[in-house]
Structure 1
């Protein structure tokens, strides 16, 4: 039987970090006005919106590279929890039009990052 858990961990890291990084890059190009508005609607300072760059650019790069992977993944977990509370809490028990969970993407990022926190980076990583 073919078994290579380190390769599996690399695939999970690249998938989590790569897919979330696209969201961060979109925010770099298009701004974070939506997030600032969401924070303001919850009576939170709009300046906190800049934290999304840490959660969707810096942390995914940490996970992809395997540098301080568990810390990067924990930042992603926090980022996703904040996103769910601020924007998606009304959808927690909702189904999407196609029959899937309305929060499958957010759930994927949250629970995959949590798995990486517990698994660690594996051997295919930057030395740290």
Structure 2
């Protein structure tokens, strides 16, 4: 394995684990509370269930490397929504009353890298799909 492949593997595992834990926390703290919070900021409550499920299941799938490009794309949309709807008012580093959007932006950049990379070593994507399909998935 090349150094860049090891870096992509570490990044994929870290991002998958981070999203899995964020989703798990939403369910452990009461998904109804999450849905209520979504409603309080003007987003339909059912989206709390959708986001938490994508984070939980998508995080696990990203961790094992299955559907990496698709999951990373969903994560980018979630992160951009969080930045625009919740974090932008606090600024990049926060405003003393709340955290800024630097973490969400960093996660979005990681996800975009995985979208562009398409496959990483030691992933189900590379084990399940042939070389022909892999080369078609790359830009």
**TM-score strictly above 0.5:** yes
By relative contact order (CA 8 Å, sep 6+), the higher-ranking structure is: 1
Partner of 1:65: 64
Partner of 2:54: 55
Partner of 1:82: 81
- In structure 2, relative to structure 1, the CA distance for the partners of 1:43 and 1:97 (3 Å cut) is closer
CA RMSD of aligned residues (A): 2.5
Moved over 3 A (4+): 32-35, 41-44
Cα distance between partner residues in 2 of 1:120 and 1:77: 15
Q: Contact 2:38/2:44 (CA < 8 Å) preserved in 1?
A: yes
* Cα displacement (A) at 1:4: 2.7
TM-score by length of 1: 0.80
- In structure 2, relative to structure 1, the CA distance for the partners of 1:43 and 1:103 (3 Å cut) is closer
Partner of 1:119: 117
Cα distance between partner residues in 2 of 1:38 and 1:86: 12
Which runs of structure 2 are paired with 1:1-128 in the superposition (5 Å)?
3-91=2-90, 93-96=91-94, 102-126=100-124, 127-128=127-128
* Cα displacement (A) at 1:112: 0.7
More displaced 10-residue stretch of structure 1: 14-23 or 35-44:
35-44
| Uncovered stretches (5+) of structure 2, i.e. residues with no partner | 129-139
Give the count of matched residue pairs. Answer: 124
| Uncovered stretches (5+) of structure 1, i.e. residues with no partner | none
Report the 3-state secondary structure (helix = DSSP H, G, I; strand = E; otherwise coil) of the residue aligned with 2:110: helix
Cα distance between partner residues in 2 of 1:33 and 1:106: 23
